[in-house]
Amino acid sequence: MPSAREPSPGNEPLDGAARPPAPDFPRAGSGEGDRWKPLALLNLYRLSLAVLFLISALLFRQPGLLGGQHPTLFLWVDLGYLLFSVVSLFTIRRRRPSFPLQVDVQVFVDVLAIALLMHASGGPASGLGILIVVAIAGGSILMEGRRAILFAALATILVLLEQVFNRWSGGPPASAWTQAGLLGISFFATALATQMLARRVRESEALAARRGADLASMARLNAQIIREMDAGILFVDRYERIQLSNEAAAELLGRSIGEHQPLALVSNDLAVRLRRWRRTPGVEQPPLRTGGSATEVIPHFTRLGDTGVLISLQDAARVSREMQQMKLASLGRLTASIAHEIRNPLGAIGHATQLLEESPELPEADRRLTEIIDAQVRRVNRIVESVLQLSRREQSQPEEIELRPWLERFAEELRTGTGIPGEQILIEVEPPDLVIRFDPGHLYQILWNLASNAVRHGAPEPSAAWVTLRAGVAGKGGVRLEVVDRGEGVDPESLGAIFEPFYTTASGGTGLGLYIARELCECNQAQLVLDETHSPGACFRISFPGSGEGGSESPTGAESES
């Protein structure tokens, strides 16, 4: 439920609300900038150390303290160390010279400067040698490879040289050599340990970067999939704020959807359904009609852990059409199976009827009965052939078809096949070079069914029928092709059923002609409808892909004979 800080839900449209852009997910970097930051921090440590040494050299000049044995050397070395730290601030900022060179130089200066400061303070007994361990550890972390061992070896050599110089100048106590040896051991131990730890850290960082890149890619892929889904998708958080949506959801809800917008402002009815679902999750949600859209929407809610709820929106009309298509497909498979089983006994009946007709002793009254049997056998056989043809329908193979010459050839075959006079077949194509992309065999079968129906129902006799084949440009760059007759038109009571399988108004029809024609159109991404406003006669219209009319007209039809 929304918190008290949320605005009160409403149903007013938000003017200017725009659909949120695709989320910009962070990308895994190369690490080029990240490795300069530790170097800058190490230099700040160096600068702070040099300042503290300078304060000690200026304020606390006493034997036994820092720089107590050689104060002048301590002061000048520290001033040089401080100057180097300040210069390093600018070289690190400019990233010139290269990173490896700067690390090598800075670690070398650290080891050399601290070794000199240690000498000025009385040798290893001063405790400054431990600062060399910090420099070696820093260099080992920043640089890969065996440089850490080189840094440790350099530091050990300098400490030993410092002891040799002390021995030559006055002789250190025996414990100083022990301390120098322990420092050398600590240098190498630190180098090896930090080198191992740094390698593991780099491997972990590389793995994290790869995982981050994979997650970012997966998130972008998921967002792209959601945007291209036909179903409307909304993801709302626990406060019912919309965190993710796609264009399909905006179209189904009839308004734009803003990022982090309360669900109640987009659709108060949907927000009410969501709260009701949270109380009773198992209840099926009926369709709802949103205020900004005339489309009925079926919401589905899915809880995603504790983060929120995924709302899937489906067009109720589309779901109904898909269910109807599934039912018709199942019916078609069942009918095809039944038709296949009918063929054998039907053939036996037809063969027996032919043998009976050939009998010289058959009475005339019985001969009339055999003619009826033969006619009905042929009719049932046509139905069986149509059903099997529909079940064996192959995938369409569209080609470029120039309509006018193609329709002229079709008109000649129609004249020959039906007996309609050629001058009573009118062809109107505008523009004359109109071209469509369609399967030629399917188009011939569709037009033959429609045109033969027009001849059959357009006049009592084929010689009196008129058929018009009219093609033109439709909305949105599409093409329409119409088959028009001058008959009595379609019975209003039959408008809703003529495209259904096995519906016929003629005694000799199969009721599959228009059904097959519509199915063939859908195979080629076209739509076959009946123009109910046309009068007199009937006008069947094929809207080819790209036509704005195909999706807006409800498919109704006329006589469905084969």
Query: Can you tell me the distance from the alpha carbon of 552 to that of 322, in angstroms, rounded to the nearest whole number?
Result: 17
Answer yes or no: are the C-beta atoms of 43 and 103 closer than 8 Å.
no
Q: What is the pLDDT of residues 37-47, one digit of tens each?
A: 888 888 888 88
Q: Give the per-residue pLDDT at 26.
A: 39
Q: Give the per-residue pLDDT at 546.
A: 59
- Kindly tell me if the per-residue pLDDT of 29 is higher than 70: no
Q: Give the per-residue pLDDT at 124.
A: 74
Q: What is the pLDDT of residues 372-421, one digit of tens each?
A: 888 778 777 777 776 666 666 656 788 899 999 999 999 998 888 888 88
Q: Pick the most confident of 201-210, 403-412, 484-493.
A: 403-412
Q: Give the per-residue pLDDT at 67.
A: 67
Helix (H) or strand (E) holding 303: strand 296-304
- Kindly tell me if the per-residue pLDDT of 552 is higher than 50: no
In the chain, what are the domain boundaries?
36-211, 229-318, 324-391, 399-543
Q: Which of 135, 134, 136, 116 is nearest to 126 (CA)?
A: 116
The stretch 10-15 carries a mean pLDDT of 39
Q: Give the per-residue pLDDT at 176.
A: 64
Query: Can you tell me the distance from the alpha carbon of 452 to that of 298, in angstroms, rounded to the nearest whole number?
Result: 43
Answer yes or no: are the C-beta atoms of 446 and 528 closer than 8 Å.
yes
| Helical ranges in 69-146 per DSSP H | 71-94, 99-120, 129-142
Report residue 177 as tokens.
């050599």
Q: Give the per-residue pLDDT at 286.
A: 80
pLDDT bucket at 308, cuts 50 / 70 / 90: confident
Beta-carbon-side half-sphere exposure of residue 258 (alpha carbons within 13 Å): 12
Query: Can you tell me the distance from the alpha carbon of 7 to that of 3, in angstroms, rounded to the nearest whole number?
Result: 9
Coil, strand or helix at 461: coil
The answer to whether the pTM exceeds 0.75 is no
Average pLDDT, the chain: 77
Q: Which of 473, 408, 468, 470 is nearest to 435 (CA)?
A: 473
- Kindly tell me if the per-residue pLDDT of 170 is higher than 70: no
Q: What is the pLDDT of residues 510-525, one digit of tens each?
A: 677 788 888 888 888 8
Task: Assign domain 229-318 to its CATH architecture.
Answer: 2-Layer Sandwich (3.30)
At the fourth CATH level, which superfamily is domain 399-543?
Histidine kinase-like ATPase, C-terminal domain (3.30.565.10)
- Kindly tell me if the per-residue pLDDT of 439 is higher than 70: yes
Q: Which of 126, 102, 101, 113 is nearest to 158 (CA)?
A: 113
